[in-house]
Structure 1
Amino acid sequence: MKSVVVLGGYGNFGRRIVAALAHEADARVFVCGRDLRQATEAAEESGGSAEPRRLDAHAADFTAELRKLGTTIVIHTAGPFQGQSYTVPRACIAAGAHYIDLADGRDYVCGIKTLDEEAKRSETLVVSGASSLPALSSAVVDALRTQFSSIESIDHGITSGARPPGRATMDGVLAYAGKPFKQWRDNEWHPVHGWQDLMRRRYPDPVSGRWIASCDVPDLDLFPERYRPVRTVQFRAGVGPATSMFGLWLASWLVRAGVISSLKSWVPALHRTATTFARFGSKCSAMHVTVRGVDLNGEPAVRNWFLLADQDHGPFIPCFPAIALARKLLRDEVSERGAMPCMGLLTVDDIISVGDGLDLRVVPG
């Protein structure tokens, strides 16, 4: 049997990944983390082949522990990834195990290529960003670009419902609020600031209009290279309640003005407040990808793609690419080796099919 180690297996994303993989044929799934009690609870909840293990990914014996478990794949869900080193993927390479993470940190995901030679020498696949970005976003653009002779701009974004993400995710996405980062626009790099540049985006019903703002994500570096000669790449995100968006926008100005250094200390209170009021807000979330350019007949063209989620099923989506890729590795359907961001390894159908049975709807346009 092949063994899958899920680091942070009792967290928001980890539990969903364990539940999806624990019933795969000929696979053992280890729910891992430093808290054995929580790991045991998550394993019992998931059933199937799920087994709890106390495992510290940053301990000196981590590589040896992976070998003891006969690990085939490690799925790293224990964020935030902003500021993390590559200790975990390097340990996986040393143990001869494939590595997948759900990282959304721009530097972390884009920098994973520095491990390419090490991964190839050990005949392992090391993949970062097996999540909504850049895995799903790039798969959508890959599908849409077959309708273009050249792409001029990519505008994409995500709006969530009222239900907040996990604490680690919130830590990551609020870390750059009010902080400057670079965005590719009109063939040049321009400075923008996190959670600013508010705009109103129209989505198909039942999501309708939502406020979204600029966010620092791996796609901003990866897409200008992958989709040359694209002139502009933009990404914005937001949450359902307009009051939350305007509050976050105002707070980002406090950081930008130097009144406070960051929103990091605010995260626990913000998470508690959002969790308390989530039941009164929207259960709908959405993702959009808009590609503009010149079509195959030489005419200006615009193509839209929307993914709509209801019944609070949106928070499942970031797990889909990791689950889809793990299943392919378990079935020996991936021959690629080396270290790379999660692009070109999965199709849109590979990813979305993981959500069969959930309240999801793809709307082309």
Structure 2
Amino acid sequence: MKNRVLILGGQGRIGAGVARDLVSHTSMQVVITGRTKKTGPAFAEQLGPRASFMALDLADRSRLEAAIADTDLVIHCTGPFHHRDGTVLKTCIERRVDYLDVSDYRDYTIAALALREQAEAAGVTAIVNSGIFPGISNSMVRQAAEQLDKPEAIHLSYVVQGSGGAGVTVMRTTFLGLKRPFKAWIGGEWQEVKPYTGRQTVQFSQGPGSVYWFDMPESYTLTKTFPVHTVVTKFGVDPDFYNQLTWMAAHWFPDELMHNPETIEFLSQVSHQMTSVTDSFSGIGVRIRAEVLGLKDGQSARRTALLTHENTTAACGIGTGSLAELMLTGEVHKPGVWTVDEALPTPLFEKAMASRGIQILFE
């Protein structure tokens, strides 16, 4: 069993969630990093004797390479991944160290998957897009699809309550996702879709929620895993007035304004401050609906997986932490670069969710 984990960005909200999961459910040695000693040392002390902090700037290549070489698994949590290249993954391949990330950006994902042959030749298992969505949601799709003889269409819907317990980085990711139209696989062809259009009310396990088209890496990757003619990825926020504000930013703000980094930062900071107030009554949970349409015994059929969790960030930590545990114990060993749905067999996914008390319902 390998037992040393390096969490890049471990003092951020998402990275901290992953660290908590690993310390709670495994016996691994966890090293968390951050560019400064802002909160990291105190957080590592809070986690206990198996955790430590390392000051590390990803721009410092020599220190990054040394840190990666001294570990068994690197977990990359330093988003937004719109601003990341493949340096960390490439270094892991060169140093023959396994890799896991929480990336959620299509272009980054495509570039990472292009390194599959290099990772396979090096014997490195690298998995991208872990967490809650993408991540657990991908495995929910696989669960549902395997119950059909022939999956034909996938519809994914996500609703986050308030901030989801996440930090300002997630807000930046949301607003960056409004900057340009994206390609969606609809009816067997790629069609251009504008973010935050196509409002739809869908039923989750704890009531309805409103969702909109949003660019997710799984809108691309699931078309490669499953022979389907349609993949829909929609996202929304509860309370609904945040959806209205985001819709206005996507449709009313001039393109040149939304392409300005200062605008993105301003909107992100304002949104984070607003949700810090409204989280007290909205909650910070997440709802996922993964619906797969297809054929079963020659008849049209539908399988729908539903998940509800009270804390979005904690759920993300569970999705990544449980997969990291399976990689470190050798239960998931698949040299190459893969998405979660490609790398994680359903029985292992179900085992991992059960170990963390996550219940997935089917209808």
* 1:252 counterpart (242, 250, 253): 250
Letter in 2 for 1:345: A
Give unpaired runs (5+ residues) of structure 1.
Answer: none
Q: CA deviation at 1:23?
A: 5.2
Residue 232 of structure 1 is matched in structure 2 by 230
Residue 163 of structure 2 is matched in structure 1 by 163
| Alpha-carbon displacement from aligned partner over 1:177-236 (angstroms, at most 9, x marks no partner) | 15211111111211111122211122222xx121111110111111222111x1111010
Q: CA deviation at 1:170?
A: 1.6
What is the root-mean-square deviation of aligned Cα atoms in Å? 2.1
Q: 1:127 to 1:67 in 2, by over 3 A?
A: closer
Q: 1:320 to 1:237 in 2, by over 3 A?
A: same
Distance in 1 of aligned mates of 2:86 and 2:26: 31
Aligned residues of 1:132 and 1:317 also touching (Cα < 8 A): yes
Q: CA deviation at 1:354?
A: 5.1
Query: Structure 1 vs Structure 2: percent identity of aligned residues?
Result: 22
Letter in 2 for 1:240: D
Residue 333 of structure 2 is matched in structure 1 by 335
Q: Secondary structure in 2 aligned to 1:260? A: helix
Give unpaired runs (5+ residues) of structure 2.
Answer: none
Q: 1:284 to 1:30 in 2, by over 3 A?
A: closer
Distance in 2 of aligned mates of 1:223 and 1:123: 24
Question: Stretches of 4+ moved more than 4 A in 1?
Answer: 23-26
User: TM-score normalised to the size of structure 1?
Assistant: 0.90
Q: 1:277 to 1:305 in 2, by over 3 A?
A: same
Distance in 1 of aligned mates of 2:293 and 2:330: 37
- 1:34-53 superposed matches below 5 A: 34-53=35-54
| Alpha-carbon displacement from aligned partner over 1:286-318 (angstroms, at most 9, x marks no partner) | 1001111111x21111121110123xx232222
Distance in 1 of aligned mates of 2:343 and 2:26: 22
Q: CA deviation at 1:252?
A: 0.8
User: TM-score normalised to the size of structure 2?
Assistant: 0.90
Q: 1:355 to 1:166 in 2, by over 3 A?
A: farther
Aligned residues: 354
Instruction: Pick the structure with more helix per residue.
Output: 2
Q: 1:148 to 1:84 in 2, by over 3 A?
A: same
Letter in 2 for 1:109: T
Residue 9 of structure 2 is matched in structure 1 by 8
Distance in 1 of aligned mates of 2:64 and 2:126: 15
* 1:345 counterpart (325, 343, 346): 343
Distance in 1 of aligned mates of 2:40 and 2:202: 40
Matched, 1:326 2:327: no
Aligned residues of 2:156 and 2:289 also touching (Cα < 8 A): yes
Residue 302 of structure 2 is matched in structure 1 by 302
Q: CA deviation at 1:36?
A: 2.4
Q: Which structure has the higher relative contact order (CA within 8 Å, separation 6+)?
A: 2
Q: CA deviation at 1:351?
A: 4.4
Q: 1:62 to 1:342 in 2, by over 3 A?
A: farther
Q: CA deviation at 1:24?
A: 6.0
Letter in 2 for 1:198: R
Distance in 2 of aligned mates of 1:283 and 1:326: 24
Q: Secondary structure in 1 aligned to 2:343? A: coil
Q: Secondary structure in 2 aligned to 1:155? A: strand
